[in-house]
Amino acid sequence: MIGQDGMRTPPYPPARRGTERDTLSGVTFADPYRWLEGETDEVLEWQRAQAELAIDLVRRLPHFENVLRSTQRFNVERNLALPRFAGGKWFRLARHPSGGHMQVLLSSEMAGGATLLFDPAVLDAERPPFISWIAPSPHGRTLAFGLCRDGSENNQIAMLDVESGRLLPAPTETLMDSWTGGVQWLPDSEAFYFSAIAGTASEFDQRAYFHHISKGETVEQRIPWRGAQDYRMIQVSPDGRLAVAVERLQDPVPVAWRSLEEASDWHPFIAEFDGLLCGHIIGASYVAITDVGAPRGRLVSVPLRSARAGDPSSWSEIVPQSEAVLRTITPVGDHLYLTEFVDTYARVRIVDLAGRVKGEVPLPGRGAIVSEQSFALMNLIPRGHPDRFLFGFSTLTTGPGLYAHAPGEMGATEIETPADRLSGAQVEDRWVTSTDGACVPIHIIWPDNDRDRPRPVLLYAYGGWNVPRVPQFPGPMAAFVAAGGILVHANIRGGGELGRDWWEQGRMANKQNCYEDIYAIAEHLVASGVCTADSLALVGASNGGLMAAVAATQRPEFWGAVVPRVPFTDLIGACRENYGRQAVAEELADIEDPGEVRRLAGISPYHLVRDGLPCPAMYLEAGGADPRCPPWHARKLAASLQRATSGTAPILLHVWEGSGHGAATNRNVTALQHAEWISFVLAALAPGVARRAAMIDREP
């Protein structure tokens, strides 16, 4: 039951404790809930009992239905899928009128006049597969796209004859997700490259393939990879003469090239390299952003056939490092569009191929280019048009719109109007001093101009993998602001918002800095009167879910509520599978070093649980089909916390069966997911705000 004094601890489904132990590099840990890693009948029955408990508590809250309507309203696409131009036609992804699954639309114009090209409901009317990505052939007569059938983001290639609408034979390999763009076509539209996994997702054996359509052949590429299990992608030059094989997700590097004209073998390009070199083939060179000697990034040109390509001193610098963080480049004709961060906010400069500045794209406010992707490798996916720069843009209070700009134009053309806005909300920028003196940027979204009294606060952060969490529209989290709360968007260390140094200061041996940043922000918000000590909540997803779970177990006294979404919580057990092992080894610790393993346990939430922990109210959410952060992470942490806590606040667990890490989840389901945890937070922090949420008018 929930009353004005908050939420009381419910009776939890019992979870037996085992005697298993886990050993990593000779260091042994108790693992009493190892059995919850299985998908047995016992585990699933326990999981469903936990979900029923969460649903029963949260959906009976008097404000739940209004919060759900609010999350449905604000559940706009945060990262716009740019329309793709091919063969004189525009291909785009759009939501079905029901608001759930994705469809493919076709039009002769950049916006408007679209007709339905493909609806996956023809394959399964009850549970239409999710369309993860689209890639039209250069002549526009064939469309390749990814179909995910279980919410996991794992998908298979489908191919469609655009004129007849007939599905065509396609490769049968499984793609991990959409992060390498699906397929990369050759200019003749007869063949494409793609990356796929061999075996299960947890084995994470990424390989590259070449598929020839008329021959019906799929051939694995023999490429001199660096050997690590990581994401891999092949880029093709616009003229079809050259191809480059790129490896690594967060700091990509081109490891090999080949001549497509001569049908040559793959030649090593950058064999040994500690840094980022991320760009595009232009002529006979690889024009790319690098952080070598420039932690905020500079633009260089590297000849593909050079024997000295691996020596950074041989590279030609096109654009030197500046005060901005250089994030992506987009070739448009004989110009390059550079997207940058200035104190986390977006800027777009235009230069020619010699690096001479030709202008700047006027942006519609202080915000973010939302068509950019989280990981650096994802920004190598071809954009929508060869002669125009297409981009999505939003602010912390205005939903994303679609814009276009061509070299020489004075302003950007609005193609699609921003989806929604937070009326009356105000944004304030601050810098918070962390434990070691680092200055951490935060953005405070106030629901109105009244700043003279403490409010319930929801603190959101990520802090890892060189991923920038840019100041863009918060999507369903806007419902918290609409209900009268304050949303704080924090750019803690570990992310890519302030350059390579910002990432390095929050990874591996420095990972604790991420959490110290969060604690410093919490203390600042209370000390400055933004909120009180019991009206502060923390939320994060994926690596942010790890962050939230660490904060709840290291410093529980800071939080009234914590929401780890699709979290990574058992950092020792994760190393028993290739995907988890690689993730830990790249970002968190040297798992071959016993000392590092002990440090790792100090940031592993499952191992931080101790008897008598005064746990805040917690809502753990996971996807039953999630291959990145499998649901057992949330299950094991929930069981451990429910047993150990000395607090009276509830600890709820909802594993959403048929859902994954989030990107391939039906939007109606994601609105419901957000409505549950936001309703939980409102009730846990401030019953007064919860009552307001039950009464507010949700009409736009």
DSSP code string of 250-286: SS-EEEEEEETTTTPPPEESS-S-SS-EEEEEETTEE
Burial grade of 241 (CB within 10 A; 0-12, 13-18, 19 or more):
middle
pLDDT at 371 over 80: no
Residues 209-226: pLDDT tens digits?
A: 999 999 999 999 999 998
pLDDT at 696 over 70: no
CB burial string 632-671: b at 16+ within 10 A, e below: bbbbbbbbbbbbbbebebbbbbbbbeebbbbbbbbbbbbb
Residues 661-685: pLDDT tens digits?
A: 999 998 999 999 999 999 999 999 9
Sign of CA dihedral 75, 80, 81, 82: positive
Predicted local confidence at residue 454, as pLDDT: 87
Predicted local confidence at residue 226, as pLDDT: 86
pLDDT band at 687 (very low <50, low <70, confident <90, very high): low
pLDDT band at 697 (very low <50, low <70, confident <90, very high): very low
Question: Are 19-74+422-695 and 79-221 equal in CATH topology?
Answer: no
- Partners of 194 in the β-ladder: 183, 209
pLDDT band at 452 (very low <50, low <70, confident <90, very high): confident
Q: Which long-range contacts (CB under 8 A, 24 or more apart) does 500-506 make?
A: 500/275, 500/276, 500/291, 500/295, 500/296, 500/297, 500/466, 501/295, 503/250, 503/465, 503/466, 505/438, 506/463, 506/464
Residues 575-627: pLDDT tens digits?
A: 999 999 999 999 999 999 999 999 999 999 999 999 999 999 999 999 999 99
DSSP state of 120: G
- Kindly state the tokens that stand for 332: 């448009």
Mean pLDDT for 426-446 is 98
Least confident of 298-302, 420-424, 599-603: 420-424
Residues 262-276: pLDDT tens digits?
A: 988 999 999 878 899
CA distance 609 to 569: 11
Burial grade of 611 (CB within 10 A; 0-12, 13-18, 19 or more):
exposed
3-state helix, strand, coil in the chain (%, to 5): 25, 30, 45
**620, 662, 671: which is closest to 641 by C-alpha?**
620
416 touches 107 (CB < 8 A): no
Least confident of 40-44, 92-96, 603-607: 92-96
**421, 426, 480: which is closest to 449 by C-alpha?**
426
- Give the phi and the psi of residue 316 in degrees, each rounded to 5: -95, 125
pLDDT at 185 over 60: yes
Average pLDDT score, the chain? 93
Domains of the chain, residue spans:
19-74+422-695, 79-221
* DSSP element (H, E) containing 39: none
CA distance 469 to 463: 8
C-beta atoms surrounding 594 within 10 Å: 13
Considering the four listed CATH numbers 1.10.3720.10, 2.40.50.140, 3.30.450.40, 2.130.10.120, the one that applies to the domain covering 79-221 is: 2.130.10.120
CA atoms within 13 A on the CB side of 614: 6
pLDDT at 5 over 80: no
* DSSP element (H, E) containing 398: none
pLDDT band at 79 (very low <50, low <70, confident <90, very high): low
168 touches 142 (CB < 8 A): yes
Q: What is the CATH number of domain 19-74+422-695?
A: 3.40.50.1820
pLDDT at 698 over 90: no
- Give the phi and the psi of residue 130 in degrees, each rounded to 5: -90, 130
CA distance 276 to 355: 20
C-beta atoms surrounding 435 within 10 Å: 13
pLDDT at 282 over 90: yes
